[in-house]
C-alpha cells in the first residue's frame, strides 16, 4: 500500500510540474504578444499633444486581430504546447515581420520574441506542422522588410535577424528545412556581411561569426547524409524535390557559392585606367568558410561525387589561379585549405596537388616574388612536410612516376636553397627553411631507423633488370600480398625516371642517341613499342620541341604510329577546338613542312572528333579544315608583317560549307575568331617562357585526372626512405655544414647537430659516401685541419670557441656510433685525431682498455646497437650531447674553476675516441680496411707535416698503437683483413719521400705487441703467418731497427719462446721469432736473456717440432758463432743440438713418406710449395742440417768450442743411427758433414800455418783436426756395416784413405812439424783391423779392394804394411 501511495504521489507531482511548465509557456507567449501589441500601438509620431488618432490605425488590422486571437487562446490550450501546431503561435509574429507598415522597433521586438520561442524549444521535429512553420520562418525572416526602419536602429535589427537565423539552424526541427531554405539562410547572412561593410564593426563581426556558425552546422551533418543517385551524374541538374529535407544539394550549392566568392573583384581606377583586382577581404573570408566546411566534413566529401568534383575542379582551379598572384594572407589561407584537402581527400587530388606545388608554392618561392610571399610559400611547404605521411607519399606518387615532376626533390632542394646562408646573420626565411629541412631529416631518420622494422635495407642502388613499360602504373592493392614487390616496383620506376631524364638530355643534343639510350636502358621493348616513344615525348620535361615536331611529322610508318599514340595521350573532352589545339601544340613545335603539318593535324583531328561532346562537326575532315583555318587566322592576326588583318566576317566567310557541305554555327566561329585574336596560339618553341595554368591546361588536367591512378597512400619503407634522401643528400649536407659555419646562435647550432645525427642515421643504410661527405664537412669546423695555423693558434681557436668543441664531439660521436658506415671519412677523422695528439689534448689512456685487458677484447657477436640506430638510442645520445655542450654546462665548468685545458680534456673524454678502435670488431670489412689504410698512410707521413723529429716519432708511434688496437679487436677475422694491411705497408714503402725511420721502428714494436696479445688470447690461428710476414717486412725495410729496438724485440721473442711456444704453428712464425731472438741477443746486455730463452726452448723437447727444428739449429748456431759468447753456454747449446738427434729418430719412427715417391704429381703452385715444405721436414734432411751446423761450429775461433762441436757431431751421429741405416744415407752424411769438416779443418790449419805469429792458432786448429780424425774413425767404424754394403763403398773408402794421407803429410811451415801424423797410423790400424775382422777387407775373393788398400797403406804409412797385410798382395799368391 505504501508503494502504491508513493507512486500516485509521484505521478501527482509530475503532473503539477507539467502544468506549471505549460502555464509558464502560456505566460511567456502572453508577455511577448502584449509587448508586441504595445509597441505596434505606439505610433512613431505619438506624443502627449495628439490623441485624436487610434493606435491600431497605424498598421494592418489583420495583424492586430491575429495577435489578439492568439492572446485569447494562450491560457486555454486544448493540448500540451509541444503537440500544438507551431504555426498557431508563430504565424502572427511572422506576419508582423513581413508587414510593410511595421516600425523598426516592432520588428526588433518581434524578432526577439521569435528568438525566445525557438530557444525555449516549445516544439520539435515531431510536432505536427513543424516542417511548414520552420520553413515559413526562414521565408519570413529572410524577407524581413526594412524600408520603414530607422537607419539608426537598422544595425540592431540586422543583428537580431542573424540571431534568429542561427537559432533556426540550431533548432531540433532544423532537419526539416529544405535545401532551398538553408541556401536562403546562408545567402541572407552573407548579404548582411556585405551590407555591414560600410557600417559598424560590431555588426560585421557578428555577421561573419554567424556565417561561420551556419557553415559549421550545415557541413557537420555531411558525414550522416546518404549519397543520392543524381550525385553520380556529370550534369549540374538534379532532382527538384524541394520538399525533401536539406542535405547534399544545399551543401553543393553553398560550397559552389563559397567558391564563387573567390572570384569577387573590386573595380580600381588609376590614372584614368580602370581595372579589376581580387577582393582580398572576401577571398580570405571565403577561404575561412571553405576551410571550416572541409574540416567538419572530413573524408565524407569523397562519398558525394558532385561535391568532390567541385573541389577537384572549381575550388582547386581558383586556389591555383589566385595562389600564384595573391597577398601573403590569401596565400597562407590557400595553403591551409590545400593542406586540409590533402588530409581528407588526397586520394582524389593527385594531379591537382602536383599543380598546386608547381604553379603556386614553387613559383611563388622563386626569386621574382616579394620576400613576404616567399616566406609564406616556404612556410606552406614546411607545413606539408610536417604531416606524418606526406613526405613518403609525395615521393612515391610524383618522384617515382615518370609522368610527374619530382615534387619531393624540388621541395628539398628549395628548402636547401633558402636555408643556405649567404653571409652575415641568418635571416628569418633561412631559419624557417632550415627548420623545414630538419623536419624532413628527422622524419626520414625516425622511420628508417625503427628498431622493430623487419623490412630489408638493400639492395642499393637499384638496377633495371628487364624491360617494363614505364608508363604503366600499378596500384598498391595489386601488390598487397607482398609489400616487397610493390616497393621494388616503385624503386625501379624511380630508376626508369632517372634514365628517362638522361635520355632526354641526350635527345636534345642528338635525337638518335637519346632514343638509343632508351633502348640501352631497357626502357624500350624489342621490337620497339611506339607508345614508349609517345609517352617519352609527351611527359619528359625540357625536351627540344622542334625535334619532337620533326620526329612526329616524319612519314615513316613507325613514326606515324608514334604520332598516333602521342595524340592518344591527350584528353579533349569538354574542350572547344581552339583550346584543344592550343593544348596539343604546346607540347611540340609544329614543323615548317606542309606534309608534316598535314600528318600532325590529321592525327589531332581524328582524336578531337572522337572525343567531342557535341554534334557540331560532321566529320574529322571538318575539324582538320577548321584547324588549318585557325592556324592561318593565328598567323594573320599576330604576324606584324601582315598589314591587312582578317575580319570576323572574313573568317566566317572563309569557313562556309566545310562541315560536310553545311556551315558551322556562326556563334561557334565567332567565338573562335575572338579567342584567336585576343590570345595567339604559340607555334614556336620558347625555352624561357613561363608556363601558366591556362584554362585549356586546366581542362587537360581534369580530363587526365579521370584516367590516371588515384593518389597512393602508403606506409614508410626504409628502402624508399633511403632513396628519397639520396635525391637531396648533396645539397642537404652542404646546407647543414654552411648553416653550422655561419651561425653563432646556440639553439641553431644544436639544431645543426640534430640534423647531423639524423643524416648519419639515414646514411648508414647504403649511403656511405654521404656520411663520409658529412664527416669531412664537419671536421673542418674543429679548427684542427687548418694547414696554415700554428699549434698555438689552433689550440687557442679550439679553446675559446664552443663551435669547434661541438664539431669535434659530434664527429667522434658519429664515428663511434655509425662507424660501420664510414668509408673514406676515416681519413679526416684520423687527421683530427693526430692533430689532437700533437696538441697534447689526448689522454694517455685513450686505448688503455686494449693494452691492459686484452682478454676483454670484443669478439664477433651480434651487437644490439650495430646500426646505432634505434630512435630511443639515438635520442639518448643526442640528449647527452646537447646537455654536455649547453651553455649551462660551460658555466658550471667555470664555476668549478676548470681551466681551458681541463675543459678541453673533458670534451675529448666525452668523445670516447678509444672505443672506436677497441670495438671495431663489428665494422664491415670495407670500413675496417679504410680505417687501417688511413692510419697506415698517416703513419707513413702522407698528408702530415711534422715540426720536429720528436713529434714525428710520437705521431707514428700513436698510429701504430691504433693499428695494434684494431688488430687485437679483430682477431676473429684477422686472416681476412690483414693481407690488405700488409699490402698497404708495401704501398707506403713506394712513397717518394718515405722514410723507414721511425715508421718501421714503431711498426715492428707495435706488431710484436699485437702478436703477444693475440697469443695471450689464444687467437693465433690464421693470424700467425700474416703478422710475422709484416714483421719481417719491417726489419727488411730498415735493418737498423733490430739494433735500436733490440731490448724490446728480445723481450718479446723470449716471451713467445718461453711462454707461448705451443701456439706457434708455422715455419714463418718460428723463423721470425728465432731470427729476432738471435739477432737481438748478440749484444752483451741482451745475450744472457736470449741464450737462456733458446736453451729453455731446446731443453723442453716437447716444443721442438719438425716445423721449427731447422730454425732452432740456425738460432743456436748464431749464438754459438758470436765472438764473445760464453763457452759454457755454447757447450750447453751444442749438447742440446746433439741430443736433438734423438728427436729426429722419434719422428722417423712415427712414419715418413718421401713426397717424391707419390704416384701423382701436383701441378699447382700451392701443392708444390707444400711438397717442398714436407721435404724440408724430412728427418734425414733435418739431420743433414744439424750436422752442417755443427760442422760450421767446428771452425769457431775458440778451441774448446771447436772441439766440443766435433764431439757433439759424433754424438749426434751415434744417436741418429736409425736414420742412417741405409748405405746411401750413411755415405751422404759422411761426405756432406764429416769429410767436409775434416777438409775444412785441415785447410784452416794450413791457412794459419802460413801466417806470421800464428803458431798458437795453428796448433790449436791442429788439435781440433786430430779430434775430428778420431771422430771420423769412430763414426766410420760404428757405421761400417751399412757403409760397406753400398755399391759406392770402394770410392768412399778411397776418399777416407785420401784424407788420412792428407793429414799424414801435412806441413806446418814455420810452426814446425805436425802432430797429426802421430795418430794417423793408429787410426788406420784400427780401421783396417776392424774391416778385416768383419770380412769387409779379405785376401780372398775376386775384388781388388785388398790390393787397393794395400797400396794406399803402403803410401800413407809404410810401417803398417807388413803388420796389416802379412798375406801380401793377391797377385803374388
Q: Which three cell numbers, joined as nine digits, stand for 925? A: 670489412
CA distance 674 to 658: 20
What residues are labeled active site?
593
What are the distances in angstroms from CA 1303 to CA 1255, 1269, 1320?
Answer: 18, 9, 8
Q: Which three cell numbers, joined as nine digits, stand for 119? A: 530557444
SS3 1020: coil
SS3 267: strand
Let me know: does 149 contact 107? Beta carbons within 8 Å: yes
Q: What is the 3-state secondary structure (H, E, C) of 129-156?
A: CHHHHHHHHHHHHHCCCCCCCCHHHHHH
Let me know: does 523 contact 503? Beta carbons within 8 Å: yes
Scanning the structure block, which residue is given the C-alpha cell 492586430? 64
What are the distances in angstroms from CA 631 to CA 624, 626, 683, 1009?
Answer: 11, 9, 9, 89
Q: Which three cell numbers, joined as nine digits, stand for 388? A: 606524418
Q: Which three cell numbers, joined as nine digits, stand for 885? A: 655542450
CA distance 307 to 292: 15
DSSP 245: B
SS3 352: helix
Dihedral sign, Cα of residue 967, residue 971, residue 974, residue 977? negative
Give ∠ CA 388-390-394 in degrees, rounded to 5: 155
First to last CA, the chain: 172
CA distance 530 to 764: 42
What are the distances in angstroms from CA 62 to CA 56, 69, 728, 1190?
Answer: 10, 10, 79, 151
- The total of other beta-carbon atoms located within 10 Å of residue 1322's CB is 13
DSSP string, 618-671: SSHHHHHHHHHHHHHHHHHHH-TT--SPPPHHHHHHHTTTTBTTBPPPHHHHHH
Q: Is 457 exposed, middle or buried (0-12, 13-18, 19+ CB in 10 A)?
A: middle
CA distance 1116 to 1108: 12
CA distance 611 to 384: 37
Q: Which three cell numbers, joined as nine digits, stand for 752? A: 645543426
What are the distances in angstroms from CA 272 to CA 266, 268, 269, 635, 934?
Answer: 16, 10, 6, 33, 76
DSSP string, 853-866: -GGG---S---TTT
What are the distances in angstroms from CA 484 to CA 128, 388, 714?
Answer: 63, 22, 13
- The total of other beta-carbon atoms located within 10 Å of residue 1356's CB is 21
What are the distances in angstroms from CA 1312 to CA 661, 784, 1244, 1255?
Answer: 150, 81, 16, 9
Q: Which residues contact 343 (CB under 8 A, 6 or more apart)?
A: 387
SS3 265: strand
Let me know: does 766 contact 820? Beta carbons within 8 Å: no
DSSP 1313: B
273-278 and 265-270: which strand pairing? antiparallel
Q: Which three cell numbers, joined as nine digits, stand for 882? A: 646537447
What are the distances in angstroms from CA 1324 to CA 675, 1327, 1356?
Answer: 138, 5, 9
Amino acid at each position: 500500500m505504501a508503494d502504491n501511495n508513493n507512486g500516485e504521489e509521484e505521478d501527482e507531482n509530475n503532473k503539477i510540474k507539467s502544468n506549471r511548465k505549460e502555464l509558464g509557456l502560456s505566460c511567456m507567449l502572453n508577455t511577448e504578444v502584449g509587448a508586441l501589441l504595445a509597441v505596434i500601438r505606439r505610433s512613431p509620431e505619438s506624443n502627449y499633444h495628439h490623441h485624436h488618432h487610434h493606435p491600431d490605425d497605424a498598421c494592418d488590422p489583420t495583424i492586430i486581430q491575429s495577435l489578439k486571437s492568439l492572446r485569447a487562446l494562450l491560457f486555454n490550450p486544448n493540448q500540451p504546447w509541444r503537440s500544438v501546431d507551431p504555426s498557431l503561435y508563430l504565424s502572427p509574429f511572422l506576419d508582423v515581420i513581413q508587414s510593410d507598415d511595421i516600425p523598426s522597433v516592432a520588428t526588433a521586438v518581434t524578432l526577439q520574441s521569435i528568438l525566445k520561442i525557438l530557444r525555449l524549444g516549445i516544439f520539435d521535429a515531431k510536432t505536427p506542422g513543424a516542417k511548414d512553420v520552420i520553413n515559413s520562418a526562414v521565408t519570413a525572416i529572410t524577407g524581413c522588410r526594412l524600408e520603414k526602419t530607422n537607419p539608426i536602429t537598422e544595425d540592431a535589427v540586422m543583428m537580431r535577424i542573424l540571431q534568429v537565423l542561427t537559432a533556426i539552424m540550431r533548432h531540433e526541427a532544423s532537419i526539416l528545412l529544405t535545401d532551398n531554405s538553408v541556401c536562403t539562410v546562408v545567402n541572407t547572412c552573407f548579404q548582411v556581411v556585405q551590407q555591414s561593410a560600410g557600417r559598424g564593426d560590431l555588426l560585421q563581426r557578428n555577421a561573419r561569426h554567424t556565417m561561420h556558425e551556419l557553415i559549421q552546422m550545415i557541413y557537420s551533418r555531411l558525414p550522416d547524409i546518404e549519397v543520392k543517385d543524381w550525385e553520380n551524374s556529370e550534369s549540374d541538374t538534379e532532382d527538384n524535390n524541394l520538399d525533401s529535407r536539406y542535405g547534399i544539394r544545399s551543401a553543393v550549392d553553398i560550397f559552389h557559392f563559397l567558391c564563387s566568392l573567390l572570384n569577387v573583384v573590386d573595380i580600381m581606377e588609376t590614372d584614368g585606367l580602370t581595372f579589376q583586382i581580387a577582393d582580398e577581404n572576401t577571398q580570405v573570408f571565403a577561404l575561412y568558410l571553405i576551410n571550416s566546411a572541409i574540416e567538419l566534413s572530413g573524408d565524407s566529401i569523397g562519398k558525394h561525387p558532385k561535391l568532390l568534383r567541385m573541389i577537384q575542379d572549381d575550388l582547386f582551379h581558383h586556389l591555383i589561379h589566385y595562389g600564384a598572384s595573391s597577398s601573403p594572407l590569401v596565400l597562407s589561407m590557400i595553403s591551409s585549405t590545400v593542406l586540409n584537402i590533402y588530409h581528407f581527400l588526397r586520394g582524389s587530388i593527385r594531379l591537382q596537388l602536383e599543380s598546386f606545388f608547381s604553379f603556386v608554392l614553387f613559383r611563388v618561392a622563386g626569386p621574382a616574388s616579394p620576400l613576404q610571399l616567399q616566406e609564406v610559400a616556404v612556410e606552406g611547404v614546411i607545413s606539408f612536410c610536417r604531416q606524418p605521411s606526406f613526405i613518403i607519399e609525395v615521393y612515391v606518387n610524383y618522384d617515382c612516376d615518370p609522368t610527374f615532376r619530382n615534387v619531393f626533390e624540388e621541395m628539398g632542394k628549395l628548402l636547401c636553397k633558402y636555408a643556405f646562408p649567404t653571409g652575415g646573420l641568418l635571416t628569418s626565411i633561412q631559419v624557417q627553411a632550415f627548420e623545414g629541412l630538419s623536419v624532413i631529416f628527422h622524419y626520414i631518420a625516425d622511420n628508417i631507423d625503427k628498431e622493430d622494422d623487419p623490412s630489408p635495407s638493400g639492395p642499393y642502388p637499384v638496377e633495371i633488370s628487364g624491360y617494363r613499360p614505364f608508363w604503366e602504373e600499378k596500384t598498391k592493392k595489386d601488390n598487397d600480398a607482398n609489400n616487397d614487390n610493390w616497393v621494388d616496383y616503385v624503386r625501379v620506376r624511380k630508376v626508369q625516371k632517372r634514365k628517362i631524364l638522361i635520355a632526354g638530355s641526350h635527345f636534345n643534343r642528338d635525337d638518335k642517341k637519346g632514343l638509343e639510350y632508351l633502348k640501352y636502358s631497357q626502357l624500350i621493348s624489342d621490337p620497339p613499342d611506339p607508345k614508349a616513344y609517345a609517352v617519352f615525348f609527351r611527359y619528359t620535361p625540357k625536351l627540344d620541341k622542334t625535334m619532337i615536331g620533326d620526329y612526329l611529322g616524319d612519314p615513316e610508318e613507325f613514326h606515324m604510329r608514334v604520332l598516333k599514340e602521342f595524340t592518344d595521350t591527350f584528353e579533349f573532352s569538354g574542350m572547344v577546338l581552339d583550346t584543344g589545339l592550343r593544348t596539343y601544340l604546346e607540347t611540340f613545335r609544329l614543323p615548317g613542312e606542309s606534309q608534316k603539318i598535314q600528318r600532325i593535324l590529321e592525327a589531332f583531328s581524328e582524336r578531337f572528333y572522337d572525343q567531342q561532346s557535341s554534334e557540331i562537326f560532321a566529320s574529322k575532315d571538318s575539324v582538320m579544315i577548321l584547324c588549318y583555318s585557325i592556324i592561318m587566322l593565328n598567323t594573320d592576326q599576330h604576324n606584324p608583317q601582315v598589314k591587312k588583318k582578317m575580319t570576323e566576317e572574313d573568317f566566317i566567310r572563309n569557313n562556309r560549307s566545310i562541315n560536310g557541305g553545311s556551315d558551322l554555327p556562326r556563334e561557334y566561329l565567332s567565338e573562335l575568331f575572338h579567342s584567336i585574336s585576343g590570345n595567339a596560339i604559340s607555334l614556336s618553341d620558347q625555352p624561357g617562357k613561363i608556363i601558366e595554368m591556362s584554362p585549356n591546361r586546366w581542362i587537360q588536367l581534369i580530363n587526365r585526372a579521370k584516367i590516371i591512378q588515384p593518389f597512393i597512400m602508403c606506409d614508410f619503407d626504409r628502402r624508399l626512405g633511403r632513396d628519397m634522401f639520396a635525391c637531396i643528400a648533396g645539397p642537404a649536407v652542404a646546407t647543414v655544414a654552411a648553416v653550422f659555419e655561419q651561425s653563432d646562435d646556440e639553439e641553431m647550432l644544436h639544431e645543426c647537430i640534430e640534423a647531423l645525427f639524423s643524416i648519419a642515421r639515414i646514411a648508414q643504410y647504403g649511403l656511405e659516401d654521404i656520411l663520409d661527405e658529412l664527416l669531412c664537412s664537419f671536421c673542418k669546423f674543429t679548427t684542427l685541419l687548418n694547414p696554415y695555423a700554428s699549434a698555438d693558434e689552433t689550440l687557442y681557436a679550439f679553446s675559446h670557441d664552443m663551435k669547434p668543441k661541438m664539431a669535434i664531439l659530434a664527429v667522434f660521436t658519429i664515428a663511434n656510433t655509425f662507424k660501420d658506415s664510414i668509408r673514406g671519412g676515416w681519413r679526416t677523422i684520423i687527421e683530427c685525431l693526430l692533430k689532437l695528439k700533437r696538441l697534447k689534448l689526448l689522454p694517455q689512456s685513450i686505448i688503455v682498455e686494449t693494452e691492459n685487458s686484452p682478454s676483454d677484447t670484443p669478439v664477433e657477436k651480434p651487437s644490439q646497437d650495430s646500426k646505432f640506430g634505434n630512435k630511443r638510442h639515438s635520442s639518448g645520445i643526442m640528449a647527452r650531447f646537447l646537455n654536455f655542450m649547453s651553455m649551462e654546462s660551460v658555466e658550471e665548468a667555470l664555476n668549478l674553476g676548470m681551466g681551458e685545458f681541463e675543459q678541453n680534456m673533458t670534451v675529448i673524454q666525452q668523445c670516447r675516441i678509444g672505443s672506436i678502435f677497441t670495438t671495431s670488431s663489428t665494422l664491415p670489412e670495407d670500413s675496417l680496411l679504410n680505417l687501417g689504410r688511413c692510419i697506415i698512410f698517416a703513419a707513413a707521413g702522407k698528408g702530415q707535416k711534422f715540426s720536429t723529429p720528436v713529434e714525428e716519432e710520437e705521431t707514428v708511434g700513436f698510429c701504430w698503437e691504433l693499428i695494434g688496437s684494431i688488430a687485437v679487436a679483430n682477431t676473429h677475422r684477422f686472416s681476412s683483413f690483414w693481407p690488405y694491411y700488409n699490402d698497404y705497408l708495401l704501398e707506403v714503402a713506394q712513397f717518394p719521400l718515405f722514410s723507414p725511420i721511425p715508421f718501421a721502428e714503431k711498426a715492428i714494436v707495435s706488431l710484436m705487441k699485437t702478436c703477444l696479445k693475440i697469443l695471450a688470447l689464444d687467437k693465433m690461428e690464421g693470424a700467425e703467418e700474416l703478422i710475422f710476414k709484416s714483421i719481417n717486412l719491417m726489419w727488411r725495410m730498415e735493418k737498423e731497427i733490430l739494433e735500436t729496438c733490440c731490448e724490446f724485440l728480445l723481450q718479446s721473442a723470449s716471451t713467445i719462446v718461453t711462454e707461448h711456444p705451443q701456439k706457434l704453428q708455422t715455419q714463418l712464425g718460428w723463423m721470425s721469432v728465432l731470427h729476432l731472438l738471435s739477432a737481438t741477443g748478440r749484444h752483451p746486455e741482451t745475450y744472457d736473456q736470449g741464450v737462456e730463452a733458446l736453451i729453455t726452448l731446446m731443453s723442453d723437447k716437447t716444443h721442438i717440432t719438425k716445423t721449427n727444428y731447422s730454425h732452432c739449429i740456425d738460432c743456436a748456431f748464431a749464438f754459438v758463432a758470436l765472438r764473445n759468447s760464453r763457452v759454457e753456454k755454447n757447450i750447453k747449446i751444442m749438447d742440446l743440438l746433439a741430443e736433438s738427434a734423438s728427436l729426429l729418430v722419434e719422428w722417423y719412427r712415427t712414419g715418413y713418406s718421401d713426397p717424391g715417391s707419390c704416384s701423382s704429381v701436383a701441378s699447382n703452385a700451392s701443392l708444390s710449395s707444400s711438397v717442398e715444405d714436407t721435404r724440408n721436414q724430412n728427418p734425414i734432411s733435418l739431420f743433414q742440417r744439424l750436422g752442417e751446423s755443427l760442422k760450421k761450429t767446428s771452425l769457431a775461433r775458440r778451441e774448446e768450442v771447436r772441439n766440443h762441436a766435433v764431439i757433439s757431431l759424433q754424438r749426434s751421429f751415434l744417436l741418429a743411427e736409425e736414420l742412417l741405416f741405409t748405405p746411401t744415407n750413411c755415405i751422404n752424411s759422411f761426405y756432406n758433414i764429416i769429410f767436409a769438416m775434416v777438409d775444412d779443418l785441415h785447410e784452416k790449419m794450413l791457412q794459419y800455418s802460413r801466417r806470421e805469429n800464428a803458431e798458437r792458432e795453428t796448433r790449436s786448429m791442429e788439435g781440433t783436426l786430430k779430434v775430428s780424425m778420431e771422430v771420423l774413425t769412430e763414426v766410420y767404424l760404428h757405421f761400417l756395416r751399412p757403409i760397406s754394403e753400398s755399391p759406392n763403398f770402394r770410392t768412399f773408402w778411397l776418399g777416407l784413405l785420401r784424407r788420412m794421407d792428407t793429414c799424414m803429410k801435412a806441413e806446418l811451415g814455420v810452426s814446425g812439424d805436425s802432430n797429426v801424423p802421430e795418430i794417423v797410423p793408429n787410426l788406420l790400424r784400427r780401421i783396417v783391423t776392424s774391416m778385416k775382422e768383419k770380412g769387409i777387407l779379405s785376401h780372398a775373393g775376386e775384388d781388388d779392394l785388398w790390393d787397393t788398400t794395400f797400396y794406399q797403406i803402403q803410401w800413407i804409412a809404410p810401417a803398417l804394411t807388413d803388420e796389416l797385410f802379412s798375406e801380401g798382395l793377391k797377385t803374388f799368391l
